[in-house]
């Protein structure tokens, strides 16, 4: 297994005064309001927040799976309009096509027009970078949840995306597999140089993987939607030591901002 | 019988070497053979009971001929050269009608399963048409299409259409949304999304719809041939009734069962091969 992904042309992501309101009139439900965010090319930004705060909605706007009701989302200066070819999404569930082998599922991520031989080598390389080369011919039902999610990651990487969008990709995995996946994504990001937007509700995960943590939270005024409540630059170069006391202090601070106060020994 | 022969006792013992299952493959073949034998048990008993009833004197031969008489009728039709004509034309009508009905069922089921406006516009009317009993179409088809092949093939097509249409449209409406979203996220839209995600996702349901459609096609074929035809198995049914040839009548029923089973078996084979990819 080689965890060195091919270098990609990383691109910046810009959100300007982005709103997302579901429904209209009296039934209108404001999810996001006035989101301003600049993600530099090659930067890893974690969108941290409690369940239902709209962080996945925000990611879907960047992916072009959804459209903002106000403001503008741009990738590399160009407005996102429909599915964004420079972005690749990994969802919380692997979402593999059950009738395809792992290799065929990875090939699903390839853009059109590539020659057959380059397609095959790109798929083999992507499977190799996530350590699944020996399982290329397996079907999704025959592999574990962690392997399925690694396949989903390979499907995204094979596009060589300028921006990688991760929507709680480790949330459904067991604790140990989750830590291994975090390290894998960290390695792959550093070797590929891609811009990464990571949606998570896991404070440790955000501190481990991100250059910057953006806390998304509902505004005090109910019905006004979520906004960016806090931005934190995570110190130290990656890969980071999970036992770093600086991270432990930041962890307490972030948890406090998410409404989980610290327990002090009496 | 309470006397036990030590020899047969030993052979009946499942752990004795003679009875121990052989290598895996052999065991599988034996199991398959056992299943086939078990499946044949009821038909064999049925024929035996039929023979007993027919020779009991309760029924006249014109009411219930013996199995042997039905076999003789088969030989008679073969030597007269009529049998293949009847079988050939009926099979042709079913296959043509099935192709037309299942094809349009796939297309219309696809359109209605994928497009909400199309569903709102067309689904209620199609459901209403579906409620019309099959025989109700026959006079109209004869009036509009004459007495040639077209009305019969059309009736078979009507029969094959509905099961295919219903299963395809319902299955498409219930394709895992997550998979469809992955397809969109990875740039698939329109026909490519359909061919690469939705169609494979509904393939198992669509195949069972096709099998139902084929069975219904045979049903409607008999309806068509009973009423207006001069050749075919349905004609053979009504003609033998009119001429008092109950042996031929029973033969026609057996032939319909055999043909239906064969065509269904071919589709079933295709279904099994396809489903192997799913599991």
Report if residue A15 sits inside a domain.
yes
Whether B142 has its CB under 8 Å from any CB of chain A: the answer is no
Asked if A12 and A142 sit in the same domain, the reply is no
Q: Note the pLDDT of residue B168.
A: 94
B-chain CB neighbours of A89 within 8 Å are 185
Measured distance between the N- and C-terminal CA atoms of chain A, rounded to whole angstroms: 49
Size of interface A-B (CB pairs under 8 A): 41
The answer on A240 and A180 residing in a single domain is yes
Q: Which of A160, A191, A211 is the last residue of a domain?
A: A160
* Assigned domain for A31 exists: yes
Q: Which distant-in-sequence residues (6+ apart) come within 8 Å of B78 by Cβ?
A: B84
How far is it between the farthest Cα atoms of chain B?
78
Q: Which of A11-15, A69-73, B49-53, B269-273 has the lowest mean pLDDT?
A: B269-273
Angle between helices B137-145 and B199-227 (to 10 degrees): 80
* A245 reaches B (C-beta below 8 A): no
Contact predicate A155/A122, CB 8 Å: no
Domain finish residue from A160, A177, A202 = A160
In this predicted structure, the answer to whether residue B221 has a pLDDT above a threshold of 80 is yes
Of A95, A139, A141, the CB nearest to B178: A95
pLDDT at residue B28 is higher than 70: no
Residue A75 sits in the same domain as residue A118: no
Lowest mean per-residue pLDDT among A26-30, A259-263, B126-130 = A259-263
What CATH number corresponds to the domain at position A53?
3.40.50.300
In this model, does residue B60 exceed pLDDT 50? yes
Residue A266 lies in a domain: no
> Is the domain of A172 the same as that of A232?
yes
**Could you give the number of structural domains in chain A?**
2
**A95 closest CB neighbour out of B182, B187, B203:** B182
Q: Is residue A228 situated within a structural domain? A: yes
Please indicate whether, in this complex, the C-beta atoms of B179 and A95 are within 8 angstroms of each other: yes
Which of A160, A182, A212 marks a domain boundary? A160
Residues A150 and A140 in one domain: yes
Q: How far is CA B181 from the centre of its chain?
A: 36
DSSP A134: G
| Section A169-180 average pLDDT | 90
User: What are the CA-CA distances from residue B12 to residues A146, A266, B30, B33, B36 (Å)?
Assistant: 51, 78, 17, 19, 22
pLDDT tens-digit series, residues B65-75:
999 999 999 99
Q: Supply the pLDDT for residue B7.
A: 39
| Distances from the Cα of A152 to the Cα of A156, A182, B114, B262, angstroms | 6, 14, 26, 43
Please list every residue in chain B whose beta carbon sits closer than 8 Å to the beta carbon of residue A101.
none
Nearest Cα residue in chain A from B193 = A108
Measured in angstroms, the CA of A70 and the nearest CA of chain B are apart by: 22
Contact A43, A211 (CB under 8 A): yes
Instruction: Show the CA angle centred on residue A94, arms to residues A92 and A96, nearest 5°.
Output: 150
Claim to verify: residue A230 and residue A171 sit in the same structural domain: yes
SS3 A187: helix
3-state secondary structure chain B: CCCCCHHHHHHHCCCCCCCCCCCHHHHHHHHHHHHHHHHHHHHHHHHHHHHHHHHCCCCCCCCCCCHHHHHHHHHHHHHCCCHHHHHHHHHHHHHHHHHHHHHHHHHHHHHHHHCHHHHHHHHHHHHHHHCCCHHHHHHHHHHHHCCCHHHHHHHHHHHHHHHHHHHHHHHHHCCCHHHHHHHHHCCCCHHHHHHHHHHHHHHHHHHHHHHHHHHHHHHHHHHHHHHCCCCCHHHHHHHHHHCCCHHHHHHHHHHHHHHHHHHHHHHHHHHHHHHHHHC
Q: What b/e sequence results for B34-61 when a residue is b if at least 16 CB atoms lie within 10 Å of its CB, and e otherwise?
A: eeeeeeeeeeeeeeeebeeebeeeeeee
| pLDDT tens digits along A75-116 | 998 999 888 888 999 999 999 999 999 999 999 999 877 788
Domain that holds residue A199: 1-86+161-261
- Judgement on whether residues A33 and A99 belong to the same structural domain of the protein: no
Distance CA B113, CA A104 (A): 26
Residues A69, A170 share a domain: yes
Inter-chain CB proximity B185 and A65 less than 8 Å = yes
- Residues A114, A167: one domain? no
Residues A74 and A20 in one domain: yes
- Which of A65, A99, A155 minimises the CB distance to B184? A65
pLDDT at B256 over 60: yes
B14 — pLDDT class (breaks 50, 70, 90): very low
Does residue A150 sit in the same domain as residue A171? no
How far is the alpha carbon of A109 from chain B, nearest alpha carbon, in Å? 6
pLDDT at B146 over 90: no
**A95 and B197: CB-CB below 8 Å?**
no
A50 alpha-carbon distance from chain centroid: 16
Express each pLDDT in B74-121 by its tens digit. Answer: 999 999 999 999 999 999 999 999 999 999 999 999 999 888 899 999
Inter-residue contact A76 to A86 (CB < 8 Å): yes
Q: Is A111 on the interface with B (CB under 8 A)?
A: yes
- State whether A73 and A174 are in the same domain: yes
Q: Where is A103: in which H helix or E strand?
A: helix A102-107
A71 falls within a domain: yes
């Amino acid at each position: 297994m080689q965890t060195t992904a091919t270098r990609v042309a990383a691109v910046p992501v810009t959100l300007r005064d982005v709103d997302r309101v579901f429904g209209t009139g009296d039934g209108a439900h404001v999810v996001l309001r006035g989101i301003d965010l600049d993600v530099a090319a090659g930067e890893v930004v974690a969108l941290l927040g409690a369940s239902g705060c709209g962080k996945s909605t925000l990611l879907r706007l960047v992916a072009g799976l959804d459209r903002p009701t106000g403001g503008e989302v741009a990738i590399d200066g160009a407005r996102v309009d429909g599915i964004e070819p420079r972005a690749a999404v990994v969802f919380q569930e692997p979402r593999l096509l059950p009738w395809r082998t792992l290799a065929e599922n990875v090939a699903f991520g390839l853009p059109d027009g590539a020659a057959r031989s380059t397609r095959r080598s790109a798929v083999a390389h992507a499977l190799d970078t996530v350590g699944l080369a020996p399982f290329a011919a397996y079907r999704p039902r025959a592999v574990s949840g962690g392997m399925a999610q690694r396949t989903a990651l390979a499907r995204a990487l094979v596009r060589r995306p300028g921006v990688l969008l991760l929507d709680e990709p480790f949330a459904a995995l067991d604790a140990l597999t989750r830590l291994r996946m975090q390290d894998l994504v960290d390695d792959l990001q550093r070797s590929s140089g891609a811009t990464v937007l990571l949606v998570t509700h896991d404070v440790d995960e955000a501190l481990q993987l991100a250059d910057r943590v953006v806390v998304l939270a509902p505004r005090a005024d109910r019905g006004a939607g979520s906004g960016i409540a806090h931005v934190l630059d995570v110190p130290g170069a990656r890969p980071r030591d999970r036992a770093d006391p600086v991270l432990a202090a930041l962890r307490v601070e972030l948890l406090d901002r998410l409404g989980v106060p610290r327990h002090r020994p009496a | 019988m309470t006397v036990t022969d030590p020899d047969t006792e030993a052979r009946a013992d499942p752990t004795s070497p003679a009875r121990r299952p052989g290598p895996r493959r052999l065991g599988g073949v034996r199991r398959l053979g056992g299943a086939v034998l078990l499946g044949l048990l009821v038909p064999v008993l049925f024929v035996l009971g039929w023979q007993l009833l027919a020779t009991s004197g309760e029924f006249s031969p014109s009411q219930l001929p013996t199995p042997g008489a039905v076999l003789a009728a088969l030989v008679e039709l073969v030597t007269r050269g009529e049998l293949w004509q009847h079988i050939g034309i009926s099979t042709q009508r079913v296959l043509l009608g099935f192709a037309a009905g299942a094809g349009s069922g796939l297309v219309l089921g696809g359109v209605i399963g994928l497009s909400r406006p199309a569903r709102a516009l067309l689904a209620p009317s199609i459901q209403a048409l579906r409620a019309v009993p099959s025989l109700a179409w026959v006079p109209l088809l004869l009036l509009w299409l004459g007495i040639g092949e077209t009305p019969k093939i059309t009736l078979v097509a009507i029969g094959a259409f509905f099961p295919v249409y219903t299963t395809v449209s319902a299955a498409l409406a219930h394709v895992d949304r997550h998979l469809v979203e992955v397809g969109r996220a990875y740039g698939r839209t329109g026909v490519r999304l359909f061919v690469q995600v939705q169609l494979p996702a509904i393939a198992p349901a669509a195949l069972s719809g096709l099998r139902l459609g084929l069975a219904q096609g045979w049903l409607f074929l008999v309806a068509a041939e009973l009423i207006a035809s001069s050749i075919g198995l349905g004609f053979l049914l009504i003609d033998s009734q009119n001429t008092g040839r109950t042996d031929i009548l029973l033969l026609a029923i057996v032939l319909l069962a055999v043909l239906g089973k064969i065509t269904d078996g071919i589709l079933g084979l295709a279904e099994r091969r396809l489903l192997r990819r799913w599991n």
